[in-house]
A and B are shown apart, each in its own frame.
Chain A
């Protein structure tokens, strides 16, 4: 089981607390919005939108250093192109993990 981390953010900020805070602030604002967009598109069964939202969330997953989760999200994104929802459960579990994590940062 892998856990989210801030290694990438710390590398970018290079000790600058202002930059670190800005980046975390953007994540805290944008991630819940994108997650909501994902569930909204899911409800509408709009596969194109679901795929787009997964794609955007994928970047956040990589920012948190979740390499295996990133691969799962990638597979899910590809499945969605075929209107296949295999991998949704794993993906949504990743979202739950990140949601819990960003409350701690």
Chain B
């Protein structure tokens, strides 16, 4: 983890730097005696963790946190326990260290920052996964490119060399294969429940034995696909 230290007191910065040097995975990129210099640095550099003093003249630690659009993990360092409640208002503040900072307590704060970072990156991966697919694609019908809104599709049916795409507003018949369209549909929303059918899981009305009612269409579910379908349902 790359970190920076912000404290108007050189001794405080030197102590934090000494504690950081004891942890192999922690690299101190820079130290700043005030928040304004740090803001300039952060505009051009990415850091994972900030050790931040609250009580600084002119521009306090909290003033600084408010300026950050995408704040990294922040560990507050202060002599004053009274700011702890205010610190709870900020998700990015992962810990609150009272000066003089004890070694064990410091290590604990770094662990918390690592956990926070892991959760953050997992969340961002999930968001990216969901946004991996486009919200729409185009189909070619009679030399006309028609935009299809993906979430509005509730059923795709294979019929020979063609597929029927059924959406909330309209149905389309396109010369294509189920395999091709399957690649364009997000896995989180769609499931192939039969060799000839892909359904939008959000549009299921009910499931009975080996069939699914989707809108007004009753669609067969292959025996091999049933466990996957059941797994994907949010059962009470």
Contacts and interface: CB of A to CB of B under 8 A. Distances in A.
A59 to B, nearest CB: 5
Interface string B7-24: 011111011001100000
B18 A8 contact: no
Contacts of B18: 12-13, 19, 22-23
Contacts of A100: none
B69 to A, nearest CB: 29
B99 A55 contact: no
Nearest to A12: B18
Given A52-B57, A58-B79, A62-B79, A12 B11 contact: no
Nearest to B8: A56
Nearest to A63: B100
B226 interface: no
How many interface residues does chain A have, given as a range? 10 to 19
Interface in B151-188: none
A11 B105 CA distance: 13
Interface residues of B, number: 15
B103 interface: yes
A11 B79 CA distance: 19
A27 B79 contact: no
Given A12-B19, A52-B57, A22 B12 contact: no
Interface in B17-44: 18-19
B55 interface: yes
Nearest to B57: A52
30 contacts: A8-B100, A12-B15, A12-B18, A12-B19, A13-B18, A19-B18, A22-B14, A22-B18, A23-B11, A23-B14, A23-B15, A23-B18, A26-B10, A26-B11, A26-B14, A29-B10, A30-B9, A30-B11, A52-B55, A52-B57, A55-B55, A55-B79, A56-B8, A58-B79, A59-B11, A59-B12, A59-B99, A59-B100, A60-B11, A63-B11
Interface of A: 8, 11-13, 19, 22-23, 26-27, 29-30, 52, 55-56, 58-60, 62-63
Interface of B: 8-12, 14-15, 18-19, 55, 57, 79, 99-100, 103
Given A26-B11, A27-B11, A29-B10, 7 more contacts: A52-B55, A55-B55, A56-B8, A58-B79, A59-B12, A59-B99, A60-B11
